[in-house]
Structure 1
Amino acid sequence: MAEESSTLSQVFQKAESLYLGLQQSALPSNSDGYQATVNDSIRGFLRAVDMVRQLCLFSENEFVEDIGAKDLRFLLTEYYLGELFLKRTGDDRLSYLDQSKLHFDHFLHQCESHDILTPQDKKHLEQVTTDAPRDAATRRADKIARFKREKDMQSRIEEFNKILGTTSSSYDGELSTEMEEKYRDFVQLHIQYAIFQTMEQLVGIQQELPMLKKMVERKNASGSTDGRAAGRSQEDMQEARVDDSRIYNATGPLMDAQGKLLRPFVITNQRRELMQGVFRPGHSLPTMTIDEYLQQEVERGNVLSGGTDPKKPEVDDNDEEAVDAETLKARAWDDFKDENPKGWGNRGGRHG
C-alpha cells in the first residue's frame, strides 16, 4: 500500500538510486542479487513512465524552457530503462536488446520533440542510424572530440553534485531563484550526457543484433535437425552403428550376411596416386631445376648483371680540356700516394 501511495518523485528517486547502486556494485552482472536489483529498478521506472503519462506531464509542443526544473529529470526515465535492459542476462538476449533499443529511441524522440538535441547530436545520430561512410581520419577526429566532450560533461556533473549535495538527478529541497537555475542546468547536463551515452549504446546494439539473429537462426535450424534425428527409433540407430569390437578388423569381411557394415572403408578411384604415395622417397623432391630458379630470380630483379663497378668513360683524345683534366687528376693521385705510403694509416705501420 505504501508503494501505491508514493508520488512520482519518490518512485523515480528510488528507481534511480537502485540504478546508481548497480554502477558501484561489486557483484557479478549475472549473479542473482545483481539481476534482482536490475529487475526492481526496471519495475520502478516502468511505473514512473505510467505515472508521467497519467499526469500528462509533457506535451509535444513544449520546449525545454517551458518544462519545470524538477519535472525535467523525468525525461531520463526512458534512458534508464534502455540502460537497464542491456544489463539483463539470460537466454533471451535478443528480446532484451530489442526492448533496450525501443526505450532509447523513445528517449531520443522526446529530446527532439522538446528541442534538447543539439545540432552536433543530430548530425552524429544521423551518422549512427544511416551508417554513413566516413574516412578513417574523420572517424578518429570525431572519436577524439566525443571523448573530450564526455570527460567535460562528467567533470561538470561532479561539480554540480558538490554544489547541490546530491549524487543523482533528484533534488527535493526548496529551490531559490538562483538555485533553481543551477538545478535546471544540472538536469539539462544529465540529459545531454544521457543523449551522448544513448547514441553510443545504439551503435553497440546495431552491431550486436545481426549476430544474435544469425545465432538464433542457426540454433533453430540445428534444433529441427536434432528433432528429426530424435524421431528415429533406437533400433535403427543401433543398426546404423558400426560394431566397435570389429572396427579394427581390417582383414575381415566388409559386411555380414544381412548387409551390416563391419568395418570402416574408403571409396576411391585414385589407385595410381595411392601407389605413388606409398613408393615415393622419404625426402621432398625438387620442383624446378637450378636454371629455372636462376631465371626466376633474374625476372624478380634479385640478380645483378654486368658487374658492380661502373665502366670508366673513355676520354676523347681530340678534347684537349678533357685530356688536361685527366692528366692533372692522375698527377694529383700520384702526389697523394707519395705523401701517403701504403700502410701509413695503419696502427701497426707506425714506427718511431
Structure 2
Amino acid sequence: MSSSAQVQATETPGRLFLSAYAQHVILESLEDESRTERYQSKLSELIATLKRLVSLLDRMALFSDNEDLEDIHTVDLRLLVVRPMLADALLRTNPNNNATTTAPVPAATAGSGSSPQQARLSIIDAASQHFVTFLETCELLGLLKDSDIAVLASRGADVPGDAQAKRAAKIATYKREKEAKTKFAELLLRTAGTSSLSKAAAGKLPDTTDADADAAAAAPGASGLDEDTERDMTLGLVELWILKACEQLAFARQETQLIQFAINSKAQAGDQDSRVRQNAGGSSSDAAASASAAKPLKPFTITREMIRRNLLGHGYSNLPTMSVEQFMELEIARGNFLTGGGNEEESKQNQIDQKILEEESNEESDKATYKARDWDEFTDGMCHVLQQSFMIMIAAATSQLTTTTNSFPV
C-alpha cells in the first residue's frame, strides 16, 4: 500500500474532527497574530482539514431527515459542528491581508478580475451558507430554541420590533451563552486527560499511530467515561456553536450591507468621474484647469489682532445696506408686490375707514363718560358745601336772636 493510500485510510471522520478542533483551538490562541505568516499558515491547514472533512461527511450522508437526536451516536453527533467551524475559519480569511498566505478561498473569488471586496462577499456568502446548513440540521434534530429559529428564518437580518424586547432577548442570549460556556468548561475539566474531545480542546493533536479514533471512541467505556458525560459534553459543544452561528450570521449580514454600500458608492463616484472627463472633452486647457482646481487652498493665519478686532463686532460678515422701507419700495418697483385690485382695494379702504370711525366713536364715548363722571363729583361736592354753609348760617342766626332777647329789660 502506498503512503498516500495509508494517509487516506487514516483520514476517518473522528480523527479529522479531533485534528481540526485542536487546530481551531490553537488558532484562537493566536488571535493577536492574525496578520502574521504563522497565523495564516495554520489557518490554511485548518481550512484544508475542514474541507476534507465536509467532503467526507457529504459522501457518507451521516445526518438524514428521518433520524431523531436519540438515534445519532455521540461520536457522530460531534461532527455536527464541522460546518460552522469551516464557516468561522473562512470568515477569518482576509483578501486584503499582505501576509504571505495560502489560505484557500471559495471558487467564486478565483477570477482574476474580482476585487478584494467582491472576494470578501464571496467568502461571507459561503460561510453564511455553512451556518444556515448547520442550523437547519439542528432544527430537524430539535436542538434550536425559538430565538435560534427566528434568526435562521431571517438569515441574520435585523427584524424590526420593540427596542425593550430586543434588549431582553440579548440579555437572555448572553445568560444562555455564559451558562453553556461554564457547563462545557466544567465537563472538559472533569474529563481532562481521559476524553479525546477534552484533549483536542487543550490543543493536542491526535496521534496518527493510534488505532481508528472512531472505533476507540465508540467502544463502551473505552475513554473511562460514562456515555451520559460524553453526550452532555458533545451537546454542550453543539449548543455553543449554535449560539456562535446565530451571532456570526447577524455579523455577516451587516458586513455584507457595508461592503455593498462601499461598492455602490465607488461605482457612483466612477460614473461621476467619467462624466466629468467626458464633459471636459479631453482638451489640454480643460485638463490644466481641472488640475489647478484640484490644488489645495492656500493656508491662512488667524492672529490675535484679528480676534481682538472682531471681539465686539457683529456675528455676521456684512451689515445691511438698506432699510426695510427701502427694500419694500425696491420690491414694489420690481413688481414682486401687486397693487391696485379695483373693488378689493376699495373694500380694504372701507374697512380702514370703518375702523377709524369706530376708534373715534370710542374716543367720544370715553370723553362723555369722563365728563359725566366729573359733573357727578362736582354736584356731590357742591351739595356738601351748601349744606355746611346753611348749617353755619342757622347757627349764627340762632345765636344773634338769643343775644337780642337778653338785652331787653324785664
TM-score between the two structures when normalised by the length of structure 2: 0.54
Deviations 1:6-28 (A, max 9, x none): 22222222222111111111543
The counterpart of 1:148, out of the listed 142, 152, 175, is: 175
1:45 maps to which residue? 50
How far 1:75 sits from its partner (Å)?
A: 0.8
Contact 2:23–2:42 (Cα < 8 Å) also in 1: yes
1:106 maps to which residue? 133
The AA in structure 2 aligned to 1:182 is: T
Bigger drift between 21-30 and 164-173 goes to: 164-173
SS in 2 for 1:60: coil
Higher helix share: 2
**Which sections of structure 2, spanning at least 5 residues, go unmatched?**
96-115, 193-197, 207-212, 293-311, 321-410
1:203 maps to which residue? 250
The counterpart of 2:288, out of the listed 222, 225, 241, is: 241
How far 1:216 sits from its partner (Å)?
A: 1.7
Contact 2:132–2:152 (Cα < 8 Å) also in 1: no
- Corresponding pairs, count: 252
How far 1:210 sits from its partner (Å)?
A: 1.3
Q: Considering only aligned residues, what root-mean-square deviation do their CA atoms show, in Å?
A: 3.4
Does residue 1:4 correspond to 2:51, yes or no?
Answer: no
How far 1:135 sits from its partner (Å)?
A: 1.8
Contact 1:82–1:103 (Cα < 8 Å) also in 2: yes
Cα distance in 2 for partners of 1:217, 1:104 equals 27
Does residue 1:68 correspond to 2:95, yes or no?
Answer: no
Contact 1:8–1:51 (Cα < 8 Å) also in 2: yes
How much identity, in percent, do the aligned residues show?
Answer: 27
Contact 1:108–1:195 (Cα < 8 Å) also in 2: yes
Bigger drift between 129-138 and 222-231 goes to: 222-231
How far 1:209 sits from its partner (Å)?
A: 1.0
Alignment map for 1:211-290 (pairs within 5 Å): 211-223=258-270, 236-237=283-284, 240-242=287-289, 283-284=314-315
Deviations 1:166-205 (A, max 9, x none): 1547985554296222111111111111111111111111
Cα distance in 1 for partners of 2:126, 2:84 equals 12
Cα distance in 2 for partners of 1:12, 1:243 equals 61
Contact 1:16–1:168 (Cα < 8 Å) also in 2: yes
Does residue 1:164 correspond to 2:191, yes or no?
Answer: yes
2:162 maps to which residue? 135
Contact 1:30–1:89 (Cα < 8 Å) also in 2: no
Structure with the greater alpha carbon radius of gyration: 2
Deviations 1:124-182 (A, max 9, x none): 54466564332222122211111111111111111111122215479855542962221
Contact 2:74–2:231 (Cα < 8 Å) also in 1: yes
Cα distance in 2 for partners of 1:186, 1:152 equals 13
Cα distance in 2 for partners of 1:3, 1:228 equals 60
TM-score between the two structures when normalised by the length of structure 1: 0.62
Does residue 1:185 correspond to 2:232, yes or no?
Answer: yes
